[in-house]
Amino acid sequence: MTVDGTAPEFNAAFRTQFEQLLRWRRDVRTFRSDPLPEGSIEQLVEIASLAPSVGYSQPWRFVTVSDPERRKVIRTAFEDANRDALEGYDGERKQLYARLKLAGLDQAPEQLAVFTDHGTPRGLGLGRQTMPEMLDYSTVNAIHTFWLAARAEGIGAGWLSILDPARVTEALNVPENWSLTAYLCVGYPAEESERPKLEQVGWEEKAAESKTILRR
């Protein structure tokens, strides 16, 4: 029984394509510099807002960052954090880290900060009294939905967390109670692969335990 209209049926061909979408979604760090078509970001945010959220709180807040001065602050915040991170590694690992390209800040035509609004009254606290972190997890759902919807359009997104969130929050002058969940670079990818970049370059391998199911 459907409540509103007729629910679509997803067939085997769709399921195959959906799996392909999941397999070919990548964290993108090398971008073509050509702009996205007008309205792309709005359309992707519209789809992202279909994500599930605790108590139906819908706490994600998207901020596009195009102002050159603000971008500069974020570029510097990345450089500082990346330098500190490099110091945390030794030997070959340090050399490998130094070679990794961890941000598409210089080429991606779009940059998006995604915040979680911890002040939202929506959802009336449902599910958050026991596990307040669920609000942030809800935003992560929206980000993943955005990521997949983008890939379906041939658009890549790269998640950048080598940043001091306080500096990003200050640079973007957002309302109080918004806390940074993700900083995304978005644009057309310069390369495509079915394998994560960090797997390709030998930073980390596919984890067998990520597919393990404990039975209790």
Ligand X SMILES: Cc1cc2nc3c(=O)[nH]c(=O)nc-3n(C[C@H](O)[C@H](O)[C@H](O)COP(=O)(O)O)c2cc1C
Mapping DSSP to helix (H, G, I), strand (E, B) and coil, where does residue 12 land?
helix
Q: Based on the shown chain and the rule CB under 6 A, indicate whether residue 102 belongs to the binding site for ligand X.
A: yes
Candidate ranges 3-11, 59-67, 69-77, 156-164; the one touching ligand X (CB under 6 A): 156-164
Candidate ranges 3-11, 68-76, 159-167, 169-177; the one touching ligand X (CB under 6 A): 159-167
User: What is the total count of residues that contact ligand X (CB under 6 A)?
Assistant: 10
Closest-approach residue to ligand X (CB): 196
Query: 112 pairs with which residues across the strands?
Result: 64, 184
Q: Based on the shown chain and the rule CB under 6 A, indicate whether residue 160 belongs to the binding site for ligand X.
A: yes
- The residue within the footprint of ligand X, chosen from 159, 167, 169, 174 (CB under 6 A), is 159
Q: How far is the CB of 42 from ligand X (least distance, A)?
A: 23
Q: How far is the CB of 162 from ligand X (least distance, A)?
A: 4
Asked if residues 157 and 186 have their Cβ atoms less than 8 Å apart, the reply is yes
CA distance 155 to 149: 8
Q: Looking at beta carbons only, is 88 or 121 nearer to ligand X?
A: 88
Residue 215 burial class via C-beta count within 10 angstroms: exposed 0-12, middle 13-18, buried 19 and up: exposed
Locate tokens 């819908």: which residue?
58
Enumerate residues 8-67 that contact ligand X by CB under 6 A: 26-27, 29
- 72-100 in b/e burial notation, b at 16+ Cβ within 10 A? ebbbebbeebbeeeeeeeeeeeeeebeee
Q: Based on the shown chain and the rule CB under 6 A, indicate whether residue 198 belongs to the binding site for ligand X.
A: yes
Residues that bind ligand X (CB under 6 A): 26-27, 29, 102, 159-162, 196, 198
